[in-house]
C-alpha cells in the first residue's frame, strides 16, 4: 500500500482538477449568452490590439521601404523651373538691381560640393528627359535618365543581369543603357535583352544591364515625388549631354526664346534635373544641408532657383507621428481590455451570489476550498481565452479589411497574436482571483440555508 501511494501521489489532485474543469465548462456552456456578453470587452480589446499593431507594423514597413527608395542619409537638390508670380517678381527685382543671373544647377555645383563640403560620402547628378522607346514595332513613352554609377548604390538598385557603366562608357559618352524590369517585360518578353539595341528618341542604345524589379506603391510615388523606376531607361550622364541635350550650352534657338520675356521666365536653363548628396552620418544631415545651401546661394548669385530636401528626416518625422498615433490606439485597446477584465470580475461576482447554494452543497459533500477556487478561476479563464481567440480572428479580419478597402498597408505578426492571446489569458487569471476567493470563503451551513 505504501509503495502504491508513493507511485501515484498526484493522481487524486489531477482528477480533482479535471473534475473542476468539467464543472466550470458546464457552467460556461449552460450560460452561453451571459458568457459571450461577458467576453465582449476582451473580444473587442484583443481585436483592437491586433488591428492596431497590424496598422502600426504596416506603416513602419512602408516608411522603411520609402527610406530605401530615397536612400539613406541623402540630401536632394532640385532646380526650380516654374516659379510662382511672387518668386518671379522678386527674382526680376533682384536682377534689375544687381544685374546678375544664376547659372542654374550644373555639374560645376557637383564639383564645388565635393571640393568644399566635408563629410560627403558620394554624390549623384541626374538628367531626366521625356522621350519615347521604339523596338520591334512597339513604341511607348518613357523617361531617359542620365546618371553615374553612384546613382545605383545610393538608391539601393541591384542588377538582375548584365553590368553597370564602366569608365569607358562614362568618359566617351557611349550609347549604352540599363533598363528597368518593366521595360524588359514590354520590349523583350521572350529574349535576353543584353546586347540588344533599343531606340530612345533619335538614338539607338545598346542594353548592357537589367535592374531588379522595385515594388513601389502609388502612395509612395505621390508622397515622395518619385517615378516608377521599372519603366526608366538609364544611360551615362555624358551620353545625355553629348547625344541628347545639354542645357548648359547656349544655342541660337535659346537666344531666340530668350527674347520673349515669358519664355525666358519659364525656360529650364538648369543643366541638371537633380543632384543627390549622400553624407556619412545621419546626425550631420541638417548641418551639411545648411552648408550646401549657403554655398549654392553664393554660386547662384543669391538667386534661389533650387530647393533642398532631406527625405529621410521628413520620413522619420512621419514615423514619429505614426508612433504617437499607435500609442493612442494602444491606450484605447488597453482600456478596452481593462474594461473587459472588470466586466469578467463583476459577472463572476454576480455568479457567486447566484450560486451560493451550489457552493455550499459542494463544500458540504467534501469539496475543498481549492476546488471552489479552481472552479471559478477556470470559468474566468475560459471566458477570457475564448474571447481572446474570437478577438484574434476579428482583429485579423479587421486588419485585412483595412488593407483591402481603406488602402492602408497592414502587417500581422505572430508576435502580436501571441501577445494578445497572453494578455487575454492573464486578464482572466487576474480578474478571476477575487470572485474565486469570495466563493471559496462561503460558509457551507449558511450557504445551504441561502434562498
User: pLDDT tens digit string along 12-44?
Assistant: 677 777 777 777 788 778 777 777 877 787 888
**Strand, coil or helix: 139:** strand
Residue 395, C-alpha cell as written in the block: 482583429
Cα–Cα distance between 344 and 340 in angstroms, integer? 6
Cα–Cα distance between 117 and 422 in angstroms, integer? 54
Residue % of the chain over a pLDDT of 90: 14
pLDDT digits (tens, 9 = 90+) for 141-157: 889 999 999 998 888 88
Note the pLDDT of residue 195: 92
264 pLDDT more than 60? no
Residue % of the chain over a pLDDT of 70: 77
pLDDT digits (tens, 9 = 90+) for 292-311: 989 998 888 888 888 888 87
Distance (Å) of CA 185 to CA 133, 156, 181, 210, 360 = 13, 21, 6, 11, 79
**Strand, coil or helix: 127:** strand
Note the pLDDT of residue 403: 82
Note the pLDDT of residue 210: 93
86-90, 126-130, 380-384, 419-423: least confident range: 86-90
167-171, 354-358, 439-443: range with highest mean pLDDT? 167-171
258 pLDDT more than 60? no
Q: How confident is the model at residue 95 (pLDDT cuts 50, 70, 90)?
A: very low
The helix or strand, by DSSP H or E, that contains position 419, with its residue range, turns out to be helix 414-440
Note the pLDDT of residue 127: 92
89 pLDDT more than 80? no
Q: How confident is the model at residue 129 (pLDDT cuts 50, 70, 90)?
A: very high
Closest among 333, 350, 337, 341 to 430, alpha carbons compared: 341
Whole-prediction pTM: 0.60
Cα–Cα distance between 289 and 255 in angstroms, integer? 34
449 pLDDT more than 60? no
Cα–Cα distance between 40 and 337 in angstroms, integer? 10
Note the pLDDT of residue 12: 60
Task: For residues 96-103, give the mean pLDDT.
Answer: 59
12-21, 115-124, 400-409, 436-445: least confident range: 436-445
Contact call for residues 243 and 215 (beta carbons, < 8 A): no
Residue 24, C-alpha cell as written in the block: 466550470
Closest among 74, 60, 122, 121 to 226, alpha carbons compared: 74
The DSSP-derived string for 350-383 is: HHHHHTHHHHHHHHHTT--HHHHHHHHHHHHHHH
Mean confidence (pLDDT) of the chain: 77
Higher-confidence residue: 147 or 382?
147
Contact call for residues 395 and 49 (beta carbons, < 8 A): yes
Q: How confident is the model at residue 318 (pLDDT cuts 50, 70, 90)?
A: low
387 pLDDT more than 60? yes
Higher-confidence residue: 314 or 78?
78
Task: For residues 128-145, give the mean pLDDT.
Answer: 89
Distance of alpha carbon 243 from the chain centroid:
40
Amino acid at each position: 500500500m505504501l509503495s502504491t501511494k508513493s507511485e501515484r501521489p498526484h493522481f487524486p489532485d489531477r482528477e480533482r482538477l479535471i473534475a473542476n474543469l468539467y464543472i466550470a465548462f458546464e457552467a460556461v456552456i449552460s450560460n452561453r449568452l451571459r458568457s459571450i456578453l461577458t467576453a465582449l470587452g476582451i473580444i473587442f480589446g484583443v481585436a483592437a490590439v491586433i488591428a492596431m499593431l497590424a496598422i502600426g507594423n504596416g506603416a513602419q514597413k512602408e516608411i522603411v521601404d520609402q527610406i530605401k527608395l530615397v536612400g539613406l542619409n541623402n540630401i536632394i537638390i532640385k532646380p526650380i523651373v516654374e516659379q510662382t508670380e511672387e518668386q518671379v517678381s522678386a527674382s526680376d527685382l533682384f536682377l534689375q538691381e544687381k544685374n546678375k543671373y544664376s547659372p542654374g544647377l550644373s555639374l560645376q555645383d557637383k564639383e564645388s560640393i565635393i571640393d568644399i563640403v566635408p563629410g560627403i560620402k558620394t554624390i549623384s547628378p541626374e538628367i531626366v528627359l521625356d522621350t519615347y522607346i521604339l523596338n520591334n514595332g512597339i513604341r511607348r513613352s518613357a523617361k531617359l535618365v542620365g546618371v553615374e554609377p553612384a546613382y545605383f548604390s545610393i538608391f539601393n538598385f541591384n542588377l538582375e543581369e548584365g553590368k553597370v557603366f564602366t569608365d569607358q562608357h562614362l568618359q566617351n559618352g557611349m550609347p549604352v543603357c540599363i533598363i528597368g524590369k518593366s521595360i524588359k517585360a514590354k520590349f523583350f518578353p521572350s529574349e535576353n535583352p543584353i546586347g540588344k539595341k533599343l531606340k530612345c528618341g533619335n538614338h539607338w542604345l545598346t542594353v548592357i544591364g537589367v535592374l531588379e524589379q522595385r515594388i513601389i506603391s502609388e502612395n509612395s510615388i505621390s508622397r515622395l515625388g518619385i517615378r516608377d523606376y521599372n519603366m526608366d531607361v538609364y544611360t551615362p550622364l555624358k551620353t545625355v549631354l553629348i547625344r541628347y541635350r545639354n542645357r548648359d550650352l547656349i544655342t541660337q534657338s535659346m537666344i531666340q526664346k530668350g527674347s520673349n520675356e515669358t519664355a525666358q521666365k519659364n525656360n529650364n536653363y538648369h543643366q541638371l534635373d537633380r543632384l543627390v548628396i549622400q553624407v556619412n552620418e545621419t546626425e550631420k544631415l541638417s548641418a551639411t544641408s545648411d552648408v550646401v545651401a549657403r554655398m549654392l546661394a553664393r554660386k547662384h548669385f543669391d538667386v534661389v532657383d533650387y530647393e533642398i530636401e532631406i527625405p529621410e528626416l521628413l520620413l522619420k518625422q512621419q514615423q514619429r507621428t505614426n508612433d504617437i498615433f499607435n500609442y493612442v490606439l494602444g491606450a484605447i485597446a488597453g482600456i478596452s481590455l481593462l474594461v473587459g477584465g472588470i466586466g469578467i470580475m463583476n459577472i463572476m461576482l454576480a455568479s457567486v451570489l447566484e450560486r451560493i447554494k451550489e457552493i455550499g452543497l459542494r463544500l458540504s459533500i467534501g469539496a475543498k476550498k481549492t476546488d471552489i477556487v479552481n472552479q471559478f478561476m477556470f470559468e474566468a479563464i475560459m471566458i477570457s481565452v475564448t474571447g481572446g481567440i474570437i478577438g484574434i480572428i476579428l482583429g485579423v479580419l479587421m486588419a485585412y479589411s483595412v488593407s483591402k478597402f481603406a488602402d492602408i498597408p497592414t502587417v500581422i505578426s505572430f508576435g502580436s497574436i501571441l501577445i494578445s492571446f497572453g494578455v487575454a489569458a492573464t486578464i482572466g487569471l487576474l480578474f478571476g482571483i477575487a470572485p474565486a476567493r469570495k466563493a471559496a470563503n462561503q460558509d457551507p451551513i449558511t450557504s445551504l440555508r441561502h434562498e
